[in-house]
Amino acid sequence: MAHKRFKQEGRVLEVSQATLTSETIAPFSKRDEIPVVYIGDMTDLMITRPIRWQFARGPGFPNYGISACEWVVSDWASTNPPRVAMFIQDYPACHEAVKGVKQYATEIGIEYVGCEVIPLFAVLDTTTEWLRTIAAKPDYVWAGLVGGVGYVIGVKDAARLEVTKKGIKIVYSYPFDEMILSVTGEKAGEGCYVFKGFPSSVETELPGMKDVFEAAKRYRGWEAGHVPSGYIIGWVPTMIGVEAIRMAIEKAGFENLTGRAVRDALATMKDFDTGLIPPVTMSEKKPYYNNCYRMYQWQGGRLVPVSDWREASPLGGYEY
């Protein structure tokens, strides 16, 4: 319904915040020629042919899980492969990540020891799933959680069961930001990791962070030290979309501004510097704006980077 309204109003770009939204409107994006910039990684259902109308953060959720596990291997000190368990919500993107890890476990250099799945909605308790995960004796748990309630309950239960005190490292997916931590309590996240392709608000030295802080103060009333990292997740793709509109106007003129012109700009964007992530270059064969990830860790309620930007794994990619 929202997409239909956008079409009627002559919109030339959509910014999507959810995987299911992007997947659902992909055929309509193509039919109505309105490009979409999505905050997360690509899925197979977002790929339109012969040209791209959906542009994502990263190359794919199978690749996302694989890349996180490659960091696990780099963090692992033993000669034996690290044992990795998956703990996810019942959500298509999370299942894609599990599929990638299971398929390429040997190539990655890990031992996959199983997956637990919790509901997407009405999550009241995850104790049973966490206890089964602990019983699998993993060295690391890749926790792909997406919903606010599921994240809060999953994180709280993991903290209550003292999963990390049992020598297990938890690597959460990128939605775990300061807003979630404000509900779970600071101690629930302490020492846990978050794998993502966007910077944290602690990285005040980044040239693009000044604009983020000014906007957050103006529109949300947030001081620089209290801007949740999730705010930046929305900022980056929107900034890229605005740049594509600027490029389209420069090439075709404002009077000829169309969704196709914006799409063409997205597909030919080169070395656009957001000041927040590596320079953005996209194409028909690379319809995603950040091919790199970083690992972060909760330290004293702050999401601190503990690795450099790492290129996404070549494994688990899609054919465009």
The domains found in the chain, sorted by start residue, are 61-196 (3.40.50.2300)
Residue 224 in this model has a pLDDT that exceeds 90: no
Q: Mean pLDDT over residues 211-222, rounded? A: 95
C-alpha closest to that of 74 among 285, 318, 310, 319: 310
pLDDT at site 60: 93
In angstroms, rounded to a whole number, what is the distance separating the alpha carbons of residues 169 and 167?
7
CB 172 within 8 A of CB 179: no
43-46 LR contacts (CB < 8 Å, sep 24+): 43/19, 43/92, 43/93, 43/96, 44/96, 44/318, 46/22
49 Cβ contact list (under 8 Å, min separation 6): none
User: How would you classify residue 166: left for phi > 0, otherwise alpha for psi between -120 and 50, otherwise beta?
Assistant: alpha
How many C-beta atoms surround the C-beta of residue 141 within 10 A? 25
User: Could you tell me how far CA 11 lies from the centroid of its own chain?
Assistant: 25
pLDDT tens figures, 59-82? 999 999 999 999 999 999 999 999
pLDDT at site 193: 97
Q: Mean pLDDT over residues 254-270, rounded? A: 97
Residue 54 in this model has a pLDDT that exceeds 80: yes
pLDDT tens figures, 268-305? 999 999 999 999 999 999 999 999 999 999 999 999 99
The sheet with strand 36-38 has its strands ordered as 14-16, 36-38, 54-55
The residues that bridge with 190 in the sheet, in sequence order, are none
pLDDT at site 215: 95
- pLDDT category of residue 132 using cuts at 50, 70 and 90: very high
pLDDT at site 120: 87
Residue 147 in this model has a pLDDT that exceeds 80: no
pLDDT at site 289: 97
Q: Where are the alpha helices (H) located in the chain, listed in sequence order?
A: 2-8, 19-32, 61-75, 92-108, 127-135, 148-160, 178-184, 186-189, 209-220, 229-252, 259-267
